[in-house]
Amino acid sequence: MKLLLQIFTWWNGQTIGTRFHTWRHGQRVGEDEFGNVYYQGGKDSEGRTRRWVIYNGPAEASAIPPGWHGWMHHRTDIAPADDNYVPREWQKPHRPNLTGTPQAYRPRGSLARAGERPRVTGDYDAWTPRS
């Protein structure tokens, strides 16, 4: 069943192209606390070592922890698995992207937010075609 999901859905795990590239060129670098597996191999268009992740579940870029994010984007050449990486105190833990869910951020005045909208104060003039 998992193979069928990977064949017919690009957002679940890895695609056939990624599976082939990983098999052919991939060198496993490490795994994060969410079960995402990181690879490197081959060269990208800028001549750097190509790096990619195979997500454990749906492909969600915000699920990459800060240390691995830095490695993925070539900010550092040392992978967190090789460096005994410890997040800095200012780095926040992962929170999933809540867009489209009831927990999504809805600022004051949003039509999607419960309650009454604030009244217009007069510092706003509506646009009209002849103004």
pLDDT tens profile 71-96:
889 998 888 888 777 778 887 777 77
pLDDT value for 23 = 62
Q: The whole model's pTM is what? A: 0.63
Single-letter amino acid, residue 96: P
Percent composition of the chain: helix, strand, coil (DSSP 3-state, to 5): 25, 15, 60
